[in-house]
Amino acid sequence: MYKSILLIIPFLFFGFTTKTNSDMVFENVDELDIPIYDFDSLEPLLYTKTNKTHIINFWAMWCAPCVKELPVFQEYEKNNPDVELILVSLDFPEDIEKKLKPFLEKKRISSKVVLLSDPDANSWINKIDPNWSGAIPFTIIFNNKERSYHERSFEDVKDLEKVINTTINSK
Amino acid sequence: MKKSNITLVVILILCSFLVTNNVYAQDRKGPPPNGERKGPPRGGHGPEQTKTLEEIGGYKIGETASNFSLKNVDGTMFSLSDIDNAKGYIVVFTCNECPFAKMYEDRLIQIHNQYAPEGYAVVAINPNINEGNTKENFKAMQSRSKEKEFPFVYLADEQHNVFPKYGAVRTPHVFLLDKERKVQYIGTIDDNARFANDVKVKYLENAIEALQKGEKPKVNFTKAIGCPVKAI
């Protein structure tokens, strides 16, 4: 009997471990769904192995200059369907349904939005960019070879295009 | 047989308890401080930066902060030198509307009440004061101060010339000065803006206590997410 219990135990743990892991993978079945990440699960999205242009923008509803520049990204994405754009919201998880989703709908933002919820920002800001003060908006433009960081908002699509061109295409 | 059944049940209960806790912890944890970087290698050569922290300017640790004269919510002009017997100054750039600033209001009150009698008063400055904005104008500052019963001064950086000297880029942004007005700590108040009860490291209070012991703060620079200071 004891032997069989001993045999069962590892399997029990195995089962629970797998379950725990699947909790960590944030599913994005519904396109409108806004997945919640902590820094460790967000970090892989900040890098790519392809030469496709990626734009990651950190923003929040409470940040006025961020809200103002959202249409710039949206427009650039429309003109350049090849670009990979992710809007990383720093809003609060409990506001997703009642505030964030209606906000995006109202502003007609259809780009991919994820939410970063990881309280101790001091531990991850430097891992994204040691020069970032933590103020938003903050944007990373990159592909597999080039990379630039921008702690400011983009005035218009021309401004953004110019920066993307100097980052990705001029080298 | 009975005994082993009980053992099995106990193990099962223990397992599920441990796992539940574990899931809960994972849901809330931040990455380990100074943890190794996971994920794909950084691509590119020499990343570009539009505006570096250095270009933003402001004080560095050890530099002497300048005094200022700013209008307090009570209508009088206030300077750091107005505080008698100060052993240091907790200069905090904050504002009315930023959710992060609001989340820290109660903690600032508490810190002031605890440390002001020991010579470290909170000096709150609104860098976002803007008479064109009904939520960030002087009147709104007065009502916020009254509503929350701020025990500390709440000053208006009307000319927007104090926050660039300090290098405040977000709200709240703390600059802890010692008796000689030398900057000894720059950064955030603690490591959890949203949940005061889940705070693990009180960066600001640790820095004050280090100064009280005549030591330099072990952690003298931290970063946080906060609302941008709107330079006008």
Q: What is the pLDDT of residue B57?
A: 79
Cβ contacts of B157 within 8 Å, gap of 6 or more: B70, B125, B126, B127, B129, B163
Tens digit of each residue's pLDDT (9 = 90 or more) over A93-144 = 999 999 999 999 999 999 999 999 999 999 999 999 999 999 899 999 999 9
Closest CA to B173 of B206, B222, B208, B107: B222
Could you tell me which chain B residue has the CA closest to the CA of A132? B53
Contact across the interface for A135 and B99, Cβ inside 8 Å: no
Please tell me the distance from the alpha carbon of residue A69 to that of residue A74, in angstroms, as a whole number: 9
Q: Is residue B117 part of a domain?
A: yes
State both tokens at B128.
């976002």
Chain A partners within 8 Å of B48 (Cβ): 147-149, 166-167
Q: What is the mean pLDDT of residues B198-218?
A: 97
Cross-chain CB nearest to B48 (options A1, A125, A149): A149
pLDDT of A25 strictly over 90: no
8-state DSSP, B67: P
The alpha-carbon gap from B74 to the nearest alpha carbon of chain A, in Å, equals 28
Cross-chain CB nearest to B23 (options A23, A65, A167): A23
Could you tell me which chain A residue has the CA closest to the CA of B231? A65
8-state DSSP, B226: B
Q: Is residue B109 part of a domain?
A: yes
Mean pLDDT of chain A: 86
Q: How confident is the model at residue B3 (pLDDT cuts 50, 70, 90)?
A: low
Q: How confident is the model at residue B15 (pLDDT cuts 50, 70, 90)?
A: very low
Chain B partners within 8 Å of A43 (Cβ): 37-39
Contact across the interface for B30 and A124, Cβ inside 8 Å: yes
Q: Is residue B19 part of a domain?
A: no
Q: What is the pLDDT of residue B29?
A: 36
pLDDT of B43 strictly over 50: no
Please state the separation of Cα B229 from the chain's center in Å: 14
pLDDT of A23 strictly over 50: no
State both tokens at B92.
């905090």
- Beta-carbon neighbour count of residue A97 at 10 Å? 10
Chain A partners within 8 Å of B51 (Cβ): 150-152
Could you tell me which chain B residue has the CA closest to the CA of A38? B30
pLDDT of B192 strictly over 50: yes
Q: What is the pLDDT of residue A169?
A: 78
B70-72 and B48-49 beta bridge pairing: unpaired
Contact across the interface for B4 and A1, Cβ inside 8 Å: yes
ipTM: 0.75
- Domains of chain A listed by start with CATH number: 30-169 (3.40.30.10)
Q: Is residue B23 part of a domain?
A: no
- Residue with the bigger pLDDT between A94 and A18: it is A94
8-state DSSP, B36: P
Could you tell me which chain B residue has the CA closest to the CA of A119? B192
Q: Which of B71-80, B173-182, B222-231 has the lowest mean pLDDT?
A: B222-231
Q: Is B104 on the interface with A (CB under 8 A)?
A: no
Cross-chain CB nearest to A123 (options B30, B43, B170): B30
Could you tell me which chain B residue has the CA closest to the CA of A93? B194
Q: Is residue B36 part of a domain?
A: no
Q: Is residue B192 part of a domain?
A: yes
Number of domains observed in the structure of chain B: 1
Helices (H) and strands (E) in chain A, counts: 6, 6
Q: Is residue B51 part of a domain?
A: no
Cross-chain CB nearest to A133 (options B30, B38, B223): B223
CATH number at residue B156: 3.40.30.10
Give me the amino acid identity at B64: T
Q: What is the pLDDT of residue B8?
A: 54
Chain B residues 128-167 with CB within 8 Å of chain A:
none
Q: What is the mean pLDDT of residues A80-104?
A: 96
Q: What is the mean pLDDT of residues B13-17?
A: 49
Instruction: Give the residue numbers spanning the domain of B121.
Output: 58-228
User: What is the model's pTM?
Assistant: 0.77
- Beta-carbon neighbour count of residue B44 at 10 Å? 17
Q: Is residue B45 part of a domain?
A: no
For chains A and B, CB pairs below 8 A equal: 163
Q: What is the mean pLDDT of residues B66-84?
A: 97
